[in-house]
Amino acid sequence: MIEHILKASLERNIPITIIYMNEGGTTQRDIKVLQLCDDYVKGYCYLRKEVRTFVKSSILSAFWCRHTKAV
């Protein structure tokens, strides 16, 4: 299901929300997927206001944003 949401975000150019686990703990991020690879996702992160790389195995959940933001 996560892969489906990531792919749809890329194809439709719309933001999604992910729950992401990193060294500091778990965070919720609104991102717009820019590139999908086998092991990672590149996307614009609205929290950090820059393009970031997310390891796919660290994405715990993905779902549609409740609100749309422009980059």
Higher-confidence residue of 71 and 36: namely 36
Q: C-alpha angle 16/12/61, rounded to 5°?
A: 25
Q: How far apart are CA 45 and CA 3, in angstroms?
A: 18
Structure tokens at 10: 């890329």
69 inside domain: no
Distances (CA, A) of 67 to 15, 18, 40, 42: 9, 14, 25, 21
Predicted local confidence at residue 69, as pLDDT: 52
Distance CA 7, CA 34 (A): 10
Residue 70 lies in a domain: no
State the total domains in the chain. Answer: 1
Global pTM?
A: 0.86
The boundaries of the domain holding residue 10 are 2-64
Each residue's pLDDT tens digit, 8-59: 999 999 999 999 998 989 999 999 999 999 999 999 999 999 999 999 999 9
Residue 71 lies in a domain: no
Task: Please determine, for residue 2, whether its predicted confidence score (pLDDT) is greater than 70.
Answer: yes
CATH no. for residue 59?
Answer: 2.30.30
Would residue 19 count as lying in a domain? yes
